[in-house]
Amino acid sequence: MIGPVLAVRSDQELEGGSVLPDLRKAPITKLQLVKYAGASGDYNLIHTDDETAHSVGLEGVIAHGMLSMAFLGEYLCWLAGPESIRRLSVRFVEMVRPGDTLTCRGRVKEQTAGNAGRQLLLEVWAENQRAERVTVGEAEVQIA
Amino acid sequence: MDQPPALSRDLIGRESEEVLFEVERGAIRKFAEAVQDQTPECLRGEVAPPTFPTMFRMTIPGLTFDLARVLHGAQEYRYERPLRAGDRVRCRLRVADIYQRQGRLGEMTFLILALEGRDESGSAVFTGSTTAILR
């Protein structure tokens, strides 16, 4: 991975409507959900224990919404660098299950020039292998 | 099954204690590895991934609910700068709002929690807003 991707792009390439490159993640596994539970401290068993998931009417465990948000966080780091991120806001709209493969996508909504460089308002989302948007949101980044 | 009573709007404004969290290099690496985050600074444990503040868990007196019945509806973070290994952040969590709304699954309670993280000198580092949906 070479980043930040956007720093080398001209203003014209980052105008409103410009499509950003994709970041495809590896398929989500149950092991990853266990690891994420431990790393994040979210021990809600609907993410790691099928029995608990069944008891609340789910077919099986579902991924933490925050895992898909973390993917979008990585996406912003890749696009703009970790020092550049000013805001990330998301809504969790569809459930994500083990076996799903998420891809982070985005486009520029607006570019503004400020004292400290270029500010970009981005539309970002994670979609699954059926092209359904599972987590959708908006981000602000500042690039040189 | 007994339904727990809906959360009272009296809880709005209630806060956690201030809690000091230390951002540890190993915790950053573990988080980045779980996410399979390829950002070099994160994998090295130097800079925390953007959603790392989700680890800063606090309780608010009087606020309890059944975890298995909660949906995470939305989440926002705003940053003054990224968190780095060795940072010590003073965090506080507050009930920003509680309201009922009819949704796909019937009557649902929306709980909005506001998180604030400051450095040791008191300057804001990040804020968070969590929308939890209780069904």
Q: Would you state the pLDDT for residue A14?
A: 83
Give residue B81's Cα distance to chain centre: 17
Min Cα–Cα distance to chain A from B75, Å: 5
* pTM as predicted: 0.94
pLDDT in tens, chain A (144 residues): 456 888 778 877 888 889 999 999 999 999 999 999 999 999 999 999 999 999 989 999 999 999 999 999 999 999 999 999 999 999 999 999 999 999 999 999 999 887 778 899 999 999 999 999 999 999 999 987
Identify residues of B whose CB sits under 8 angstroms from chain A CBs. Answer: 27, 30-31, 33-42, 47, 49-51, 54-55, 57, 67-79, 81-82
Least confident of A73-87, B1-15, B22-36: B1-15
- Does the beta-carbon distance from B75 to A77 stay under 8 Å? no
Alpha-helix residue ranges (DSSP H) falling in chain A: 30-40, 50-55, 65-80
Min Cα–Cα distance to chain A from B87, Å: 15
Question: pLDDT digit string (tens) for B35-84?
Answer: 999 999 999 999 999 999 999 999 999 998 887 788 899 999 999 999 99
Min Cα–Cα distance to chain B from A34, Å: 9
ipTM: 0.94
